[in-house]
Amino acid sequence: MRYFAAVLLFLLAAYFYFYFGFYGSNWILLQPFLLALLLLYFNSNSPWFYYSFALLAGLFVDSFSGIFGLHSFTFIFIIFILKNLQLSIFTSRNILTVVVLSIFAFVIFYFCVYLIHFIFVGDFYVFSGRLFGQLAKMAGWGILIVAILHILHFNFWVKKNEEQPF
């Protein structure tokens, strides 16, 4: 079941990635693959499973972007940091933890993208107030989506079928 859900999430993320990328202008900042990765991470307890998903999702995005390896490394690094935070500081299971870790994920994502782009291309992005606003808005939407889907999954699936992963 979880493999089916992972494939479905991957395909949905790919759909929205192309759809937003080509037609939705600023909606690409929603980062569909990051949302899919977070959802899978919060709802799975097998590190091999979500690390593999992070690798595949990253490689997929890298195939259509300028710096090969950027997203792969970023996604794996995000999972690594979130897992460490969960094992050390944010050990509780509530929705606030999910929201806080999602915020961390978005911050790490943009930080890595900026840093790796700067190191390997030697160019830097211009973070205008407008772009910051859009990033914050889309990150907010992303976190909201992750939180809602996580709650839905917990209430309608985990409670009835299995134990919550963390």
Partner 1 sequence: MIRQNLKIFFLFVLIVILLLLFKNGRIFDIGFVFRYWFAPSLAVNSLFEPASDLTEEYKELLVENSALRYLEEENAELRALLNFQNTEKNQLVLANVINRDPLNRNILIIDAGSRDGLLEGQAAVVNDGIIIGKIIDLGYDFAKIRLLTDSFSQLPVKIGNHRVSGLLSGSLGLGMELSYIPQDQEVKIGDLVFSAGLDSGVSSGLIAGRIEEISFSPEEVFKSASVSPIINYDTVSILAIVTSL
C-beta closer to partner 1: residue 39 or 50: 50
**Smallest gap, in angstroms, from Cβ of residue 150 to partner 1?**
21
Rounded Cα–Cα distance for residues 19 and 149 (Å): 21
C-beta closer to partner 1: residue 85 or 153: 85
Instruction: Of 80, 145, 148, 147, give the one whose Cα is nearest residue 109.
Output: 80
What does each C-alpha distance from 24 to 9, 27, 29, 62, 76 come to in angstroms? 20, 5, 10, 20, 27
C-beta closer to partner 1: residue 26 or 153: 26
Which residue from 38, 39, 40, 62 is in contact with partner 1, where contact means CB under 8 A?
62
Which residue from 2, 8, 45, 84 is in contact with partner 1, where contact means CB under 8 A?
84
Which residue from 5, 44, 60, 116 is in contact with partner 1, where contact means CB under 8 A?
60
What are 132-141's contacts with CB under 8 Å, separation 24+?
A: 134/26, 134/29, 135/29, 135/110, 138/26, 138/27, 138/29, 138/30, 138/31, 139/29, 139/103, 139/106, 141/30
Where does this chain bind partner 1 (CB under 8 A)?
A: 14-15, 18-19, 21-22, 25-26, 28-29, 31, 47-48, 51-52, 54-55, 58-60, 62-66, 68-69, 72-73, 76-77, 79-80, 83-84, 87-88, 110, 113-114, 117, 121, 123, 125-126, 128, 130-131
